[in-house]
Structure 1
Amino acid sequence: MKNTNNFLRKNTLHNYTLKNDSEPNLHKDIFPYSEIPKVTFNQVQYPMCLPDDIWITDTTFRDGQQSMSSFTVDQIVRLYDYLHELDNGSGVIKQTEFFLYSEKDKEAVRKCMSRGYDYPQITSWIRAVKEDLNLVKEMGIKETGLLMSCSDYHIFNKLKLTREKAIDMYLSIARDAIEHGITPRCHLEDITRADFYGFVIPLVNKLMKLSRDSGIQIKIRACDTLGLGVSFNGAELPRSIPAIMHGLRYHTNVPSSALEWHGHNDFYAVVNNSTSAWLYGCSSVNCTLFGIGERTGNCPLESMLINYVQLTGKGKNLNLGIISEISSYFEREMNYNIHSRTPFIGSEFNVTKAGIHADGLLKDEEIYNIFDTEKILNRPIVVAINQYSGFAGIAAWINTYFKLKGDSKISKKDPIIAPIKEWIDKQYSNGRTSVIRNNELRNFINVHYPNLINRGCTEAI
């Protein structure tokens, strides 16, 4: 169910002017540094406003790649192909962004551009300097991210500028981009530590005026650089995502379609925060495959695809089954270690070891599986066997491993279960502590019950 905006509203902008303070506002009452940051509340409640259209943008080749060994050109092209296959023409994964600084970067972009895919569209990312803008022009890319740091931590302590000079610099590069036919995508770095009404709103209002004057829709990316954002309605700025999204839409008239959220996972909240951005009026959330990225990483793209389907009910055009293939590629070709319990992609994300859960699976798979993981993600539910699995666990393992269906399935009361359990119990009574491996169980069953394998599919899991 979508929100409607059939309320009479005065179409004027709030006149928040730049506070060009001589000293930085570092919000030390909220970010004392020697202590854990504080979440403060003012109990202001903002209305949810899920846009009519929401989507995902990708930064695997930009922010994500910085956290790993440098990707090869072939790896970049293959991952770009995978993103295209995953999107499957739906336009849900709308864009992906690239660096342009090295010859390898440029070669990878050229090869990806030669694919001619509609989605994901190819964009770039640069610093707010004219030399970098020349790279975008040379590559013929029509949209680029422009770094616009907006907290005083960056403006005063990193860039060594005043707020006024920072705005002048940002507006200058945005104008230059527009003059060259390039759409600016303004990355408001560290927005969750910024002076929202004293800097962010005045900056965005100037950018929106430039947008109106030029006829080019400038995009605004709100960057939660340190993962400090919180999704709680009633929390105060600068950390409140509902307040940030409402403020950008209401005080600057940025349309939802031009709003983007970029989060990090430093406080274990990146998926909830990104979802909150959608719910409070932002059309686009920025992600990486498997959440790779600086420090604790970015928002996992696969998680937001699942949330996209949960929020919209639209998932038929996505090729979610290929996620498992992409994760295998990461581990095999890029030496990336995916924790076994990572949702949707880990080797054990839908593995159960508890006997009581296995008993439920025997009765009805839906009792203990989050959804039909075999159909949607090409990952059938699996039962792992240990000293606590019991009769039900063994029966469930046999049914899932050998893909026994319908009348071929066995129950925990089947006469073959007791001898198998006796063998397993003996393993642990002799001091074993590890899970019984699939090949061990298969070999035992093959020796003692060879006909069992023929009851199911010829190809086991």
Structure 2
Amino acid sequence: MEDRKVYLNEHTNLLELEEHMYPLVDVETPNVFRNLFRYDEIPKIAFNDRTVPHHMPDEIWITDTTFRDGQQSRAPYTSEQIVTIYDYLHRLGGPNGKVRQSEFFLYSKKDRDAVYRCLEKGYKFPEVTSWIRASRKDFELVKEIGLKETGILVSCSDYHIFYKLKMTRRQAMEHYLSVVRECMETGIRPRCHLEDITRSDIYGFVIPFCVELMKLMEEYKTPVKVRVCDTMGYGVNYPGAVIPRSIPGIIYGLMTHAGVPSELIEFHGHNDFYKAVNNSSTAWLYGACGVNCSLFGIGERTGNTPLEAMVFEYAQLRGTLDGMDTTVITELAEYYEKEIGYHIPSRTPFVGKNFNVTRAGIHADGMLKNEEIYNIFDTDKFLNRPALVSVSNTSGAAGIAYWINTYYRLSGEREVDKNSELVQMVKASVDKEYEDGRVTVLTDEELIDKIESVCEKLHMTL
């Protein structure tokens, strides 16, 4: 007890006592938390009402896994596509590097070519990092390419240790530590991906393992990152929930009991239970500096935390975008749709075709009077996406004029008003459909066809 360090917590201004007193619990049989995770039942969320304090770091950021986890669930990107998306990420993150890193595979020539081309850009952010198998050959490849950090898979639940690796906890820990040491001896910063952490024994394996990682960091004077991987999306953000499902509890344990500093903690979430975004925000709130995301949430199974979602979470939590250029999000969405051929569901927040389209007649009426009533923020300013109202039998000429002006970006002298011949002819066509029994709103494609047809008759262009 006398040797344990007392230090001042700069967030609370209270003296605290280090509690790195958690030895490995080496069990003979796996602890797979059958009380929470019975395979023939829906997983349970249990509570013990032990809460931990918020600990928002001084600085938070986003890291990207579009080219790693994002490529595990779709056809591989071409080298050209990777380089183009990397350019977009650089612009999106802004001069302060809020999109801090992007991780790449190195196995194929195509992947390595893309890495070299991205490195040639000379961007400070996002830093190019890798994800490799845990072998000296791969570490040397990372060093040869010129990368300074790589991810290493260190599965931490007994599901993986006993059933997949066929090891004991002690054997797994010793194997992982030898691999991390080998990585550090080649001069590469390791980023340890603690796979399946939300089904692991936090205080019997994860904390003791991370204590040893911090000892290696001290020995080699090289940072060791810890990525909290909610691989199956079991994590929850509810105060008082029990570990291993509690994201606040995991982050608190890593900081307080394993001594991992906030800047070396990164959360990686999956969306199996629709909690990826909330869990990522929670990780920030309780002490993780980084959240790992994929563009549009594209990733294994239900996907990862959408990167664009965390851009707006950042702004809401910090009150500023800190230089991030959110209009790039719309450019990325258009690039994915037109150049990559990826279909974004129309109701996807921020990027879906209809995310800021008001369809209900009474709502559309409110939008025409003041768009703040039914639009989440100035989507034209932040995303180059003006709010739209759909056209139906209740829209009237004013609603049709509003749709034309916003969709075709008409302003000043080019604007059409409700009395224009174009609007009146389109309205007549719309009214006819509803007189004939139509009950649904018109799609964008249908409206465009009607408008183009009228424009042809009037010999005009928009």
TM-score by length of 2: 0.91
The structure 2 residue matched to 1:278, chosen from 270, 284, 288, is 284
How big is the shift at 1:144?
0.6
Paired letter, 1:324? T
Question: In structure 1, what is the equivalent of residue 64 of structure 2?
Answer: 58
* Mean CA deviation greater in 80-89 or 336-345: 80-89
Is the Cα–Cα contact under 8 Å of residues 56 and 285 in structure 1 kept in the other structure?
A: yes
Is the Cα–Cα contact under 8 Å of residues 362 and 395 in structure 1 kept in the other structure?
A: no
How big is the shift at 1:375?
1.1
Matched, 1:435 2:442: yes
Q: Distance in 1 between matches of 2:217 and 2:263?
A: 14
Is the Cα–Cα contact under 8 Å of residues 227 and 267 in structure 2 kept in the other structure?
A: yes
**1:345-395 deviation digits (Å, cap 9, x = unpaired):** 111111112221221122111111111111111111122213454565334
Q: Distance in 2 between matches of 1:251 and 1:316?
A: 32
- Change in CA separation of 1:419 and 1:117 when aligned onto 2, cut-off 3 Å: closer
**1:49-97 deviation digits (Å, cap 9, x = unpaired):** 1111000000111110111101111111111111112123221000000
Q: Distance in 2 between matches of 1:148 and 1:413?
A: 67
Question: In structure 2, what is the equivalent of residue 327 of structure 1?
Answer: 333
Matched, 1:426 2:432: yes
Paired letter, 1:438? L
How big is the shift at 1:134?
2.6
Is the Cα–Cα contact under 8 Å of residues 192 and 224 in structure 2 kept in the other structure?
A: yes
Paired letter, 1:20? D
Matched, 1:126 2:135: no
SS in 2 for 1:31: coil
SS in 2 for 1:101: coil
Question: In structure 1, what is the equivalent of residue 304 of structure 2?
Answer: 298
SS in 2 for 1:149: coil
Question: In structure 2, what is the equivalent of residue 372 of structure 1?
Answer: 378
How big is the shift at 1:430?
2.5
- Change in CA separation of 1:107 and 1:403 when aligned onto 2, cut-off 3 Å: closer
Question: In structure 1, what is the equivalent of residue 93 of structure 2?
Answer: 87
* Equivalence map 1:164-179=2 (5 Å): 164-179=170-185
Matched, 1:231 2:240: no
* Equivalence map 1:182-331=2 (5 Å): 182-315=188-321, 317-331=323-337
How big is the shift at 1:449?
8.0
Is the Cα–Cα contact under 8 Å of residues 195 and 231 in structure 2 kept in the other structure?
A: yes
* Mean CA deviation greater in 388-397 or 409-418: 409-418
Structure 1 gap segments, 5+ residues each? none
Q: Distance in 1 between matches of 2:452 and 2:65?
A: 45
Is the Cα–Cα contact under 8 Å of residues 354 and 389 in structure 1 kept in the other structure?
A: no
User: Which aligned segments of 4 or more residues in structure 1 are displaced greater than 4 angstroms?
Assistant: 402-422, 431-434, 447-450
Question: In structure 2, what is the equivalent of residue 157 of structure 1?
Answer: 163
Is the Cα–Cα contact under 8 Å of residues 192 and 228 in structure 1 kept in the other structure?
A: yes
SS in 1 for 2:375: coil
Q: Distance in 1 between matches of 2:101 and 2:366?
A: 42
Q: Distance in 2 between matches of 1:413 and 1:44?
A: 65
* Equivalence map 1:44-123=2 (5 Å): 44-123=50-129
Paired letter, 2:309? S
Percent identity over paired residues: 53
Matched, 1:354 2:355: no
The structure 2 residue matched to 1:40, chosen from 34, 46, 69, is 46
Q: Distance in 2 between matches of 1:139 and 1:129?
A: 16
The alignment of Structure 1 onto Structure 2 pairs a total of residues equal to: 451
SS in 2 for 1:257: helix
Q: Distance in 2 between matches of 1:408 and 1:325?
A: 25
Q: Distance in 1 between matches of 2:222 and 2:17?
A: 20
How big is the shift at 1:9?
2.7
Is the Cα–Cα contact under 8 Å of residues 48 and 240 in structure 2 kept in the other structure?
A: yes
How big is the shift at 1:316?
5.2
Paired letter, 1:330? Y
Structure 2 gap segments, 5+ residues each? 1-8
SS in 1 for 2:291: strand
Paired letter, 2:221? G
Q: Distance in 2 between matches of 1:402 and 1:329?
A: 19
Is the Cα–Cα contact under 8 Å of residues 290 and 301 in structure 1 kept in the other structure?
A: yes
Paired letter, 1:355? G
How big is the shift at 1:127?
2.7
Is the Cα–Cα contact under 8 Å of residues 355 and 390 in structure 1 kept in the other structure?
A: no
Is the Cα–Cα contact under 8 Å of residues 128 and 169 in structure 1 kept in the other structure?
A: no
TM-score by length of 1: 0.91
SS in 2 for 1:22: coil
**1:89-143 deviation digits (Å, cap 9, x = unpaired):** 2210000001111222211111111111111001111233333323212222111
SS in 1 for 2:62: strand
- Change in CA separation of 1:12 and 1:378 when aligned onto 2, cut-off 3 Å: same
Q: Distance in 2 between matches of 1:44 and 1:391?
A: 59
Q: Distance in 2 between matches of 1:59 and 1:439?
A: 37
How big is the shift at 1:401?
3.6
How big is the shift at 1:409?
7.3
Paired letter, 2:100? K
- Change in CA separation of 1:410 and 1:434 when aligned onto 2, cut-off 3 Å: closer
Paired letter, 2:112? K
SS in 2 for 1:223: strand
Q: Distance in 2 between matches of 1:398 and 1:69?
A: 37
**1:272-301 deviation digits (Å, cap 9, x = unpaired):** 110110011100000011111000111111
Q: Distance in 2 between matches of 1:150 and 1:320?
A: 36
SS in 1 for 2:228: strand
Paired letter, 1:342? T
- Change in CA separation of 1:423 and 1:102 when aligned onto 2, cut-off 3 Å: closer
SS in 2 for 1:185: strand
SS in 1 for 2:226: strand
